[in-house]
């Protein structure tokens, strides 16, 4: 009687699908990660005792820096084309208000230009941000 050897089947775990998913996740997180550090402007807001709460969402932010530069939604803007810039920014479906942040050293005339441009662009209201004392 001949003995027949039992063959052991070597069970091998197929890692190819696992590696595919790991690389897919790696690519996904690399593409969606935000590595750019946003620049911040040092603005010293004027102090007002009668300040209230500002609108939390649905606004376009206009910043007047101490040196007189304008920024709309963080991008530089020229006073000559401010009305068109605000119209374009207010055209977004969730933007209806304008929020003005101006440094205490900024020129008053530039603030008036922003207020006038916001009215012409069709903003529903304009908030001027201040600090409480």
Q: Does residue 64 sit within a domain? A: yes
Nearest-angstrom CA–CA distance, 79 and 89: 15
What pTM was computed for the model?
Answer: 0.62
Q: Give the 3-state secondary structure of 59-71.
A: EEEEEECCCCCEE
**Residue 44 resides in a domain:** no
- Both tokens assigned to 12: 């091998």
**Predicted local confidence at residue 1, as pLDDT:** 56
What is the residue range of 81's domain?
59-128
For the stretch 18-56, pLDDT in tens is 999 999 999 998 888 877 666 666 767 777 766 666 657
Indicate whether 102 belongs to any domain: yes
> Looking at residue 102, which CATH number applies to its domain?
3.30.420.270
Evaluate whether residue 18 is within a structural domain.
Answer: no
User: Which residues, given as ranges, of the chain have pLDDT below 70?
Assistant: 1-9, 36-41, 43, 49-55
| Strand ranges, E, within the chain | 59-64, 70-72, 75-77, 97-102, 125-128
Q: What angle do CA 66, 92, 113 make, to 5 degrees?
A: 35
């Amino acid at each position: 009687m001949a003995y027949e050897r039992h063959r052991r089947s070597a069970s091998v775990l197929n890692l190819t699908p696992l590696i595919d998913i790991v690389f897919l996740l790696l690519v996904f997180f690399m593409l969606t990660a935000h590595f750019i550090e946003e620049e911040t402007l040092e603005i010293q807001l004027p102090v007002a005792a009668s300040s209230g709460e500002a609108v939390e969402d649905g606004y376009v932010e206009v910043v007047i820096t101490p040196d007189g530069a304008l920024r709309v939604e963080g991008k530089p803007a020229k006073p000559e084309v401010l009305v068109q810039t605000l119209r374009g920014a207010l055209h977004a479906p969730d933007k209806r208000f304008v929020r003005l942040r101006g440094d205490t050293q900024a020129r008053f005339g530039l603030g008036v230009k922003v207020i006038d441009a916001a009215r012409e662009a069709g903003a529903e209201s304009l908030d001027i941000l201040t600090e409480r004392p």
